[in-house]
Amino acid sequence: MKPPLIRVEALHVHFNGLRVLNGLDMEVREGEIFVIIGPSGVGKSVLLKNLIGLLRPASGRIFLGDAEVTAMAERDLNVLRENVGMVFQGSALLNSLSALDNVALPLRERHKMPEDQIVRRCKEKLALVGLDGAESKLPAELSGGMKKRVAIARVLAIEPKLILYDEPTVGLDPILAEGVDGLILELKRNIGVTSLIVTHDLDSAFLLADRVAMLHEGRFHFVGTPDECRRSDNPVVRRFTQRGKK
Ligand SMILES: Nc1ncnc2c1ncn2[C@@H]1O[C@H](COP(=O)(O)OP(=O)(O)O)[C@@H](O)[C@H]1O
Ligand SMILES: [Mg+2]
């Protein structure tokens, strides 16, 4: 079997005495969609930020492929972030820039590519997320679902092997959420990208995941397929999955 693309060992993260991650272990395999579920405030975003070195843990180790993120200097982290896609929770688009210019931003800032190649690539990625024709639109002219697609296209433009999604369907109505879920699945099927998604949206987690992990009190209390998760008699899992069903 191939080595995991992400490996996390005994990760501890605290803020002023607040223990957020408490000995978390994780392995994400190449090509899979791995979904972390858990209620708000449990440390999902904190974990993602640690994976790309935006936050540093108190202890523990993180590997992306062969590279140890937790041992990297800031300069190497910048290189790493050019190759790992992160779709932030609020889409994080620049309001004064068109959809195309938003997608082009990382390429223009960091990758030394000729402008005509950049434009061609950005148009291709916008088409891939179903937004051909929207290149010149400003974020204010786009729906929440379209903004999320632009944010995903911007990540695709760097052609990453790994995409991290922070709550990709939060704030979207069910139809738009379904569209974004469909896109994430297509990207796996068509370009084989590995995806790590954190969400509190259980429907979307079960639809997308090859494997689901339940984050609770700083570590995983369950890791398995969606079916195993539904059938689990782990009380932490049941409390979360049965919520709202009574
Ligand atoms: N930079 C920070 N400084 C201090 N506390 C933080 C910081 N980032 C997150 N936290 C705290 O860590 C906990 C987990 O936050 P977060 O990872 O954002 O939760 P979620 O699972 O909703 O994404 C929260 O209690 C939050 O207030
Ligand atoms: Mg969060």
Atom number, ligand 1, closest to the C-alpha of residue 43: 17
- Ranges of H-type helices in the chain: 44-51, 74-81, 99-109, 115-128, 144-156, 174-191, 202-208, 226-231, 235-241
DSSP label of 171: T
- The residue whose C-alpha atom lies closest to atom 2 belonging to ligand 1 is 15
The token pair at 42 is 């449990």
Ligand nearest to the CA of 44: 1
| CB neighbour list of residue 46: distance below 8 Å, 6 or more residues apart | 13, 20, 21, 55
Q: For residue 244, what pLDDT is reported? A: 56
Question: Please, which residues have CB less than 5 A from ligand 2, an ion?
Answer: 44-45
Separation between Cα atoms, residue 76 and residue 114, nearest integer Å: 24
pLDDT by residue, tens only, the chain of 246 residues: 678 999 999 999 999 989 999 999 999 999 999 999 999 999 999 999 999 999 999 999 999 998 999 999 999 998 898 889 999 988 789 999 999 999 999 899 877 789 999 999 999 999 988 899 999 999 999 998 899 999 999 999 998 999 999 999 888 888 888 888 998 998 899 888 999 999 989 999 999 999 999 999 999 999 999 999 999 999 999 998 887 565
CB of 218 within 6 A of ligand 1: the answer is no
DSSP-assigned letters across all residues of 36-103: EE--TTSSHHHHHHHHTTSS--SEEEEEETTEEGGG--HHHHHHHHTTEEEE-TT----TTS-HHHHH
- The residue whose C-alpha atom lies closest to atom 19 belonging to ligand 1 is 41
Are 58 and 14 contacting, i.e. CB atoms less than 8 angstroms apart? yes
CB of 37 within 6 A of ligand 1: the answer is no
Residue ranges of domains in the chain, CATH in brackets: 1-83+160-246 (3.40.50.300), 91-159 (no CATH)
CB of 41 within 6 A of ligand 1: the answer is yes
Q: For residue 126, what pLDDT is reported? A: 94
Distance 98 CA to ligand 1 centre (A): 31
- The residue whose C-alpha atom lies closest to atom 4 belonging to ligand 1 is 15
Mutate to test the pocket of ligand 1, among 45, 200, 201 (most ligand atoms within 8 A of CB): 45
Q: For residue 3, what pLDDT is reported? A: 80
Q: How far apart are the first and last CA of the chain?
A: 42
CB of 46 within 6 A of ligand 1: the answer is yes
**Residue whose pair of structure tokens reads 């010149």 in the numeric block:** 136
Q: For residue 245, what pLDDT is reported? A: 61
CB of 42 within 6 A of ligand 1: the answer is yes
Q: For residue 44, what pLDDT is reported? A: 96
